[in-house]
């Protein structure tokens, strides 16, 4: 199964991660999540695959987050997923999914363990 990159072509880290994958001979499925927004259930699955804290998937410097009037720590997994589903720009990027694992490409090299 091919890895999938949740990609924003305007983001330099996302572009760097895509190029890194390609340099390793991997041509991933590209999901431009701003054009094809995820459902709340898809975001919850991403949170589970990445593991750790659901807040890691949330971009809190975006105006859409500030408009929520909350701190990251005020939000549980379901609220994080709901916020990202409603405002996909809030999704940390890029995220690479390979099988039952996923990693945030910050730095891009953080996704390399998924290729093994």
Catalytic residue among 11, 49, 89, 114: 11
- Residue 1's pLDDT is 77
Ramachandran area for residue 37 (φ above 0: left; ψ -120 to 50: alpha; else beta):
beta
Domain that holds residue 32: 4-115
- Residue 95's pLDDT is 98
- Residue 52's pLDDT is 84
pTM attached to this predicted model: 0.94
On whether the CB atoms of residues 58 and 72 are closer than 8 A, the answer is yes
Percent of the chain with pLDDT over 70: 100
Is 116 annotated in the active site? no
Extract the residue ranges of the chain whose pLDDT is less than 70: none
CA R_g for the chain: 14
CA 39, 113, 56, 95 dihedral sign is: negative
Please report, for the domain that includes residue 76, its CATH number: 3.40.30.10
The count of domains in the chain is 1
- Residue 16's pLDDT is 98
């Amino acid at each position: 199964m091919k890895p999938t990159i949740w990609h924003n072509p305007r983001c330099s880290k996302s572009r760097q991660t895509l190029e890194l994958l390609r340099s390793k001979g991997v041509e991933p499925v590209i999901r431009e999540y701003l054009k094809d927004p995820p459902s709340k259930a898809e975001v919850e699955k991403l949170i589970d695959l990445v593991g750790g804290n659901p807040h890691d998937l949330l971009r809190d410097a975006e105006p859409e987050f500030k408009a929520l009037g909350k701190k990251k720590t005020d939000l549980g997994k379901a609220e994080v997923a709901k916020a990202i589903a409603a405002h996909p720009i809030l999704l940390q990027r890029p995220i690479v999914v390979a099988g039952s694992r996923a990693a945030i490409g910050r730095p891009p090299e953080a996704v390399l363990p998924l290729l093994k």
